[in-house]
A and B are shown apart, each in its own frame.
Chain A
Amino acid sequence: MILGLLQHISIQNLIWLICLLPLVSSCINWLLSASSSKLPSKAANSLASFVGISGPLLAFFSALIVFWVLTGIENSEAFAITGPLYQWIGFGGWSIDIGLRVDQLSLVMALVVTGVGTLIHIYSIGYMRGDDGYPRYFAELNLFLFFMLLLILADNLILMFVGWEGVGLCSYLLIGFWFSDIEKAKAGKKAFVVNRIGDFAFIIGIFLIWKMLAGQPIVGGSPLNFETLERNAAFLLPIATPVCIALFIGACGKSAQIPLYVWLPDAMAGPTPVSALIHAATMVTAGVYMIARLNFLYVLSPLALNIVAYTGAATALFAATIGLTQRDIKKVLAYSTISQLGYMFLAEGVGAFGAGIFHLVTHAFFKAALFLGAGSVIHALHGEQDLFNMGGLKKYLPGTFAVFFVAALAISGIWPLAGFYSKDEILWQVYERGYTGLWVIGFITAGMTAFYMFRATSLAFFGNLRIGEDKKHHIHESSISMLVPLVLLGVLSISGGWIKNSIGTFLEPRFASVTLEEVTHHENMEHILAVISVLWAAHWAFVAWIVYVQKPSWPEAMANKFRKIHSLLMNKYFVDEIYDAIVIKPLAWISETALWKGFDIPIIDNVGVNGSGRVVGFFGKLAAVLQTGLTPHYLFFMVIGISIVVGWLVF
């Protein structure tokens, strides 16, 4: 049956289908949303959820079919398939096509995005039930999926940039989904603006590539195609470093790395499934994906790679420390996400692109599970997000607890769960490639990760119920539509890591090799390190449990003792304030005092403008006799002038 179908649907069409199915369901949902006032809300909502889910689900199946068909092909070079649709922009021999490209890398991403996306869509049915903007929510979520898939599957930088901007737009829309709340709308705006900084750098990078390639005897088709780029990477050698840095700044914006991470915690204002899908599992990994996609560029510039690695490591540690003290469950997860993204960049920075992508995949599973679990908790507690108002929910929400717990174990890197494999792989690669300092940072961060994750788990699920009486009887396990995706993600969090070897070999043809400085293999060392890090993580997880469940007074005491550090962490290193102080205020000050009052008024205004104005005004008054203010008169003089010019030209 399927085979028969496949004979009719060419694989190119199928690739398009992956991308377009969410768009179609998005369009339908927009229509629904636009006409929802005229439809009975129940029918509209069920239709919206049906349409909203079928899009991603079918896309997932399409991706699976593509995967299945492609893995049947032996030759790994033939693996990459492009489906050009038509020429989009064309000028002077250059052209940019609208085309998709499926290779190992994008296929893995597409599977993750559609798979996790589908689960989160299903989850959303339960989570968003009864919301006024139900069809709109699904429309935006589907649209996001479309753009994300466009980003992933694009075969050239420009189209990728379209997807890039598109997901930014959807992120903005969804963060501000409840736009009537001004704070939430502001959070959306912040995300949008901060992302623009990165996007600016990104587009500068694209321009640089373009400028460099223009006029070069490039081989292959459109110069911004990844394939052509890869083949002609040599031409880019002179500007590889600036290009890579520019692109990396773009990635920093999207993937929330220092210094552009500030938007992500605020982005938690959106509905929790949105946080799970966009701000944990998929969109924020776009930067990671982009660097992996352009790995052939990055290997040209060791400096850029190092910047990536150090930024990643710093972000990982930095965000983890903030995560230690946050009270809001979603904020904890947000900082955890930033930290994990740092890991991925760290991996990519040391040249282990495969490890980075692998961590991306497993992270998508367990972080989605964590977020959805948190969403479940929040849903059960009617919007309560403060960890210190939770506690003891194990009893009330057994399913959620189980998944959350498993996912927390996974993210902490406990064997044999998914996180262990990927994180261990990263740490090992870092260690193996000689970045011992970075390894130490990563190692410490791993401990912190375990600590804050179990801090959150303990506070939420163990101990006594600290929530108000009035909310107590409302606590209930989530509906089946929310639980099923949760459990599936939990299973994936457990088992996701077991594909470590196969994914490594699967992805290998896509990545340029980085010359290792120290080509020594320590088989034993790898195992030793793994065991150490598991123990290290387990230790901190246990500590967290002890501190927050058994001795609830300790955190208070600790906080009092290290008041300064605590408040530093609590306030996220005052980064927002620092930004305010070093960027916004000075800018305002300079604009106002220095430029306006200091320069503008005395010099430009008084001397420049008014002074010359006075001079001119004097002559102007003389000339004003001619100025009647009537357009025809001016035109008359103009005509005389033209006549003179024409006359001069003629004679």
Chain B
Amino acid sequence: MIFYLIAFGIVVTAILTIASRNSVVSALWLVACLFAQAILMVTLEAHLVAAMQVLLYAGAIMVLILFVIMLLNLTPKELKWKFIAGERLILGSGVIYLAGVMGLALWIIYKKGASFVPAAGGGTAGTVEAVGKLLLTKYALPFELVSVTLLVAIVGAILTGRGK
């Protein structure tokens, strides 16, 4: 029950994110969406992930996005909800098509069964120690790769953002 409540919140905020006229408001809905996702993760006993979701996503990435939005100081004209010129038809049909395909896919997955059954037994509580250990053993290589990616991204962002 609580899942459906949260899921409803997530979907609504996600829709509002892409539907809001004002990009600041949009960003705020995204924050709300991410926050709701964090709550969902808490119900899944992924505490660390939930905390990190708030810390990194809501606390850092979204603040950065907000910062940039404010820095750019968009004019009201910019903020208007506009379609890509003259192509509503294509886009509309595309969305319908997409929705159809997705719905079909879902239906098939649904039909094949496999309802969500949490695995029995403990060991799924995402404590810092457990997840951390996993990160540094099994996922050591991805961990390192991600860190390199981060470094590259930082350098790239600085170089791109520095301008002339």
Interface residues of A (CB under 8 A from B): 90-91, 628, 630, 632-633, 636, 639-640, 643, 646-647, 650
- Identity of the chain B residue whose Cβ is nearest the Cβ of A632 in the assembled complex: B84
Leading 3 A-B pairs by shortest Cβ distance = A643-B101, A636-B94, A650-B105
Contact, CB under 8 Å: A646 / B105: yes
Contact, CB under 8 Å: B105 / A630: no
**Bound Cα distance from A543 to B140, whole angstroms:** 69
Contact, CB under 8 Å: B105 / A647: yes
Does B72 touch A at the CB level, under 8 Å?
no
Contact, CB under 8 Å: B98 / A630: no
Contact, CB under 8 Å: B141 / A639: no
Contact, CB under 8 Å: B94 / A646: no
- Contact A91 B90, CB 8 Å, known A632-B84, A643-B101: no
Query: Of A632, A636, A639, which is in contact with the most chain B CB atoms at under 10 Å from its CB?
Result: A636
Residues of A within 8 A of B94 (CB): 636, 639-640
CB distance from B24 to the nearest CB of A (A): 22
Residues of B within 8 A of A91 (CB): 141
Residues of B within 8 A of A636 (CB): 90-91, 94
**Bound Cα distance from A643 to B141, whole angstroms:** 32
Contact, CB under 8 Å: B84 / A630: yes
Contact, CB under 8 Å: A650 / B87: no
Residues of A within 8 A of B90 (CB): 633, 636
CB distance from A93 to the nearest CB of B (A): 13
- Identity of the chain B residue whose Cβ is nearest the Cβ of A628 in the assembled complex: B87
For the complex with contacts A91-B141, A632-B84, A640-B98, 4 further pairs of A-B residues with Cβ separation under 8 Å are A632-B91, A639-B98, A643-B102, A650-B105
Contact, CB under 8 Å: A643 / B84: no
Residues of A within 8 A of B105 (CB): 646-647, 650
Contact, CB under 8 Å: A643 / B87: no
B side interface size, CB within 8 A? 14
- Other-chain contact of B97, A90, A628, A632, A640 (Cβ < 8 Å): A640
**Would you list 15 pairs from A and B whose C-beta atoms are within 8 A, ordered by A residue?**
A90-B140, A628-B87, A632-B91, A633-B84, A636-B91, A636-B94, A639-B94, A639-B98, A643-B98, A646-B101, A646-B105, A647-B104, A647-B105, A650-B104, A650-B108
- Contact A647 B91, CB 8 Å, known A91-B141, A632-B84, A633-B84: no
CB distance from A50 to the nearest CB of B (A): 37
- Identity of the chain B residue whose Cβ is nearest the Cβ of A645 in the assembled complex: B101
CB distance from B26 to the nearest CB of A (A): 17
Residues of B within 8 A of A643 (CB): 97-98, 101-102
The interface residues of chain B, by DSSP majority, are classed as helix
Q: Give how many A-B residue pairs fall within 8 Å (CB-CB).
A: 29
CB distance from B88 to the nearest CB of A (A): 12
CB distance from A221 to the nearest CB of B (A): 20
- Identity of the chain A residue whose Cβ is nearest the Cβ of B85 in the assembled complex: A630
Residues of A within 8 A of B84 (CB): 630, 632-633
**Bound Cα distance from A640 to B101, whole angstroms:** 9
CB interface residues, B 59-113, toward A, < 8 Å: 84, 87, 90-91, 94, 97-98, 101-102, 104-105, 108
CB distance from A316 to the nearest CB of B (A): 46
- Identity of the chain A residue whose Cβ is nearest the Cβ of B108 in the assembled complex: A650
CB distance from B93 to the nearest CB of A (A): 10
- Identity of the chain A residue whose Cβ is nearest the Cβ of B83 in the assembled complex: A632
Residues of A within 8 A of B108 (CB): 650
- Identity of the chain B residue whose Cβ is nearest the Cβ of A647 in the assembled complex: B101
**Bound Cα distance from A639 to B102, whole angstroms:** 11
- Identity of the chain A residue whose Cβ is nearest the Cβ of B94 in the assembled complex: A636
- Identity of the chain B residue whose Cβ is nearest the Cβ of A637 in the assembled complex: B94
Residues of B within 8 A of A90 (CB): 140
Residues of A within 8 A of B141 (CB): 91
Residues of B within 8 A of A640 (CB): 94, 97-98
**Bound Cα distance from A490 to B140, whole angstroms:** 54
Residues of B within 8 A of A639 (CB): 94, 98
**Bound Cα distance from A90 to B138, whole angstroms:** 12
Residues of A within 8 A of B102 (CB): 643
**Bound Cα distance from A632 to B94, whole angstroms:** 11
Residues of B within 8 A of A647 (CB): 101, 104-105
**Bound Cα distance from A636 to B93, whole angstroms:** 10
**Bound Cα distance from A117 to B152, whole angstroms:** 39
CB interface residues, B 10-48, toward A, < 8 Å: none
Residues of B within 8 A of A650 (CB): 104-105, 108
**Bound Cα distance from A628 to B91, whole angstroms:** 14
**Bound Cα distance from A639 to B94, whole angstroms:** 8
**Bound Cα distance from A647 to B107, whole angstroms:** 12
- Identity of the chain B residue whose Cβ is nearest the Cβ of A644 in the assembled complex: B101
**Bound Cα distance from A99 to B58, whole angstroms:** 43
CB distance from B86 to the nearest CB of A (A): 10
**Bound Cα distance from A90 to B143, whole angstroms:** 13
**Bound Cα distance from A90 to B91, whole angstroms:** 50
**Bound Cα distance from A90 to B84, whole angstroms:** 52
**Bound Cα distance from A650 to B91, whole angstroms:** 24
Residues of A within 8 A of B101 (CB): 643, 646-647
CB distance from B99 to the nearest CB of A (A): 10
Residues of B within 8 A of A630 (CB): 84
**Bound Cα distance from A636 to B90, whole angstroms:** 9
